[in-house]
Amino acid sequence: MPRVLSSIGPLAPDAGGDLLASAGVELRFAPKGGKTPVAELIELLQGCVATIAGGEPYTREVFAARPELAHIARFGVGFDAVDVAGATEAGVVLSTVVGTLDDAVADLTFGLILDVARGISRDDRRVRQGRWMREMTVEVTGKTLGIVGLGRIGRAVARRAGAFRMRVLATEPYPDRAFVAEHGITLAPLERLLAESDFVSLHAPLMPETEGLMNAERLALMRPGAFLINVARGRLVDEAALEAALRAGRIAGAGLDVRAEEPPRDTRFLDLDNVVLTPHVASNTVETRRAMARMAAENVARVLRGERPGGLINPEAWERRARGAG
């Protein structure tokens, strides 16, 4: 009976539990809450051929200690907690649940755009405090939206922008040109996008070349009345530089679903009325979490059957496994 570690707890039948039961899997569960330390993760992975992984660190140390591990099925689309090169060298297949959370994340993105523009959360707090105040806000309709990363989620955001008659600029190294043409999107270098956008929304993956992407120099390129939205990864933004820009009024506000450290220990944005903060919940809908769990379970079952998983990140490792060289 193949043993699989689940970092997301038990899976309901309609969320992939039925697939794993049919595959004859023995599930082991990691403690929920926080990120499992490497030493504890190694202990939990004993005898496991696969894992449905959360944000715990999959390092070369883990791969060396658990050579039986063949597959990391990420419960998400990001994989910055996995040493991909180390996994590939160890013959460990890495898959994601790509496509399952596009709409949920795009919905929250637009929720943040509307909130920062119209001051919804700020006004709610004031009314609850007995402060009946009316401040001027700005409209979203007809404005310019800059999308940094026009992948699946970025494209879902662009579709919603169309309903608001927004002009859309996008920075994307590998654009879907048919989509760009269909939706009237203008591809632009990052510097131009920042200079011309009323709202800048980040949808890029976290990689060495994108860490700290929004630093002091790039924040200074944004319009004084512009807003920054981040639902991707916290470390795309230099948070000290963002705080300085917000306090100095160099940009109008920010909507942040993700932080460099989660949960954050600092209080840098808590007293700023022009910042909307949410606790990394962009994909936290009943429908999306069920679909994510089901695809992760399906990926596990597929690899156990010798079939290529969806959302494969390192095809080199899969090819090695398929050839029996892993």
At 45-76, the pLDDT tens digits run 999 999 999 989 999 999 999 999 999 999 99
Catalytic residue, candidates 3, 280, 289, 290? 280
Interval 108-116 mean pLDDT: 98
Beta-strand pair 71-74/48-53: parallel
Positive or negative, the CA dihedral 79, 84, 87, 88 is positive
Phi and psi dihedrals of 58, rounded to 5?
-105, 100
289 classed as catalytic = no
Is 262 one of the catalytic residues?
Answer: yes
Give the ranges where 197-265 is alpha helix by DSSP (H). 216-219, 239-247
**Annotated catalytic residue, options 61, 262, 290, 319:** 262
* pLDDT value at residue 313: 96
CATH number corresponding to 3-100+286-322: 3.40.50.720
- Give the list of residues 6+ apart from residue 250 with CB closer than 8 angstroms, or none: 219, 220, 222, 224, 244
The confidence score (pLDDT) of residue 293 equals: 95
Domains 3-100+286-322 and 102-277 share a fold: yes
Per the CB < 8 A criterion, the answer to whether 50 and 2 are in contact is yes
Per-domain residue ranges of the chain = 3-100+286-322, 102-277
Confidence at 77, pLDDT banded by 50, 70, 90: very high
Give the homologous superfamily in CATH for domain 102-277. Answer: NAD(P)-binding Rossmann-like Domain (3.40.50.720)
Write down the pLDDT at residue 34: 61
Catalytic residue among 203, 233, 294, 302: 233
